[in-house]
Structure 1
C-alpha cells in the first residue's frame, strides 16, 4: 500500500529564520572585543559564556517559532502552527478590516495553539462550517488571503453583490 501523494503547497511561511542564531557568536565576539579594547587582553571564559548562552537561548526560540508560527496552505489543509484545519471546512473569507470599527471576526479565536494572532502577523477572518468563525494569520497576509480566496471560490462561488 502506498502513501497518498502530498498536496501542492499553495502558501508557506517558516515562522522564524535560523540566521538569528548567529547573534550568539556575534555576542561572544563583541565581549572579546570589549575585553581587548579595555586593555585586559582576551580571557575566553566570558566571551565563551556569552557565545553559548545566547546561541542556545536563540536556538530554542527559533525552534519554537518554527513550530508554532509557521503556516502552510495546501489544497486539502491549512496548518497554523500545529493546528490543522481542513480547507473544506472554510466557507468564506471575510473582507479586510478597514475604518475605525473593529469587525466581529477579529474577536474570533485565532487558529493554532497560541492564545491569539502571533506578534508581527495579521489576522484573516474565516467563516467555518457549523456557523463558526476563526482567524487565520500570516506575515504575508495578502498572499495567504489571495490563496485562501482562490481556494474557497473554486469550491463555492462568491456571493452576489447587492
Structure 2
C-alpha cells in the first residue's frame, strides 16, 4: 500500500473549523461543579448526579460541535471554496463586492448565503460574491477580512 503524495493534496489558503472540540471540557467541569455543590451541602457526593451531568452535557455539546464543524466550517483552496456543505469553484467567482461600510445595508447583504443554511451563521460576517451565470451569493467567515484577502489572491476580477 502506498501513501498519498502530499503534492496531490490542494493547498489550503484559508480554513476555519466551525467549532472547537475544547468546548467538551464543559461536561467534566459541570460534573465537578455538581460534586462540589454536593460536598458543600454536607450530604457527601452521590456520584449519580455528577455522572448524569457529565453524560448529558458532554453528549449534547458533542452533537452541537459536530454539527457546527460540518455546517459552519470554511475552506478555500486555489480551485474551490467550501462553505459548510456547499462547494463552489473559484473560477465561478466573477467579482468580490467591497466590504459593507456604515449603517446602510449593501444590496449584496441580502444575497443567499453559501452552505445549506438560511443565512450567514451567527458570529460570522458575509462577503458579497458575484458568480458566473448572473448568480450572486454571500461567502462568510469569522475572520472575514482574512478570507476576503485570500479570495482576492485567487479570483481574477475584470477591470471595471
Q: 2:116 & 2:13 partners in 1: Cα distance?
A: 22
The CA deviation at 1:6 is 2.1
Q: Distance in 2 between matches of 1:101 and 1:17?
A: 33
Match in the other structure for 1:79:
82
Residue in 1 aligned with 2:69? 66
> 1:88: which partner in 2?
91
Distance apart, 1:54 and its partner CA: 0.2
Equivalent residues in 2 for 1:40-55, closer than 5 Å: 40-55=43-58
Q: 2:151 aligns with which of 148, 152, 156?
A: 148
Corresponding pairs, count: 156
Q: In the aligned structure 2, how far is the partner of 1:36 from the partner of 1:101?
A: 55
- The CA distance in 1 between the partners of 2:104 and 2:46, in whole Å, is 59
Q: Pick the aligned partner of 1:9 from 5, 9, 12.
A: 12
Secondary structure of 1:137's aligned partner: strand
Alignment counterpart, residue 135 of structure 1, candidates 118, 134, 138: 138
CA distance in 1, matches of 2:51, 2:101: 50
Of residues 24, 29, 32 in structure 2, which corresponds to 1:26? Answer: 29
CA–CA distance in 1 between the matches of 2:58 and 2:87?
A: 31
Runs of 4+ with >4 A deviation: none
Deviations 1:55-98 (A, max 9, x none): 00000100010010000000110000010011000000000001
Q: Which sections of structure 2, spanning at least 5 residues, go unmatched?
A: none
Helix, strand or coil: the match of 2:87?
strand
Instruction: Tell me the C-alpha RMSD between the 2 structures.
Output: 1.5
Aligned to 1:116: 119
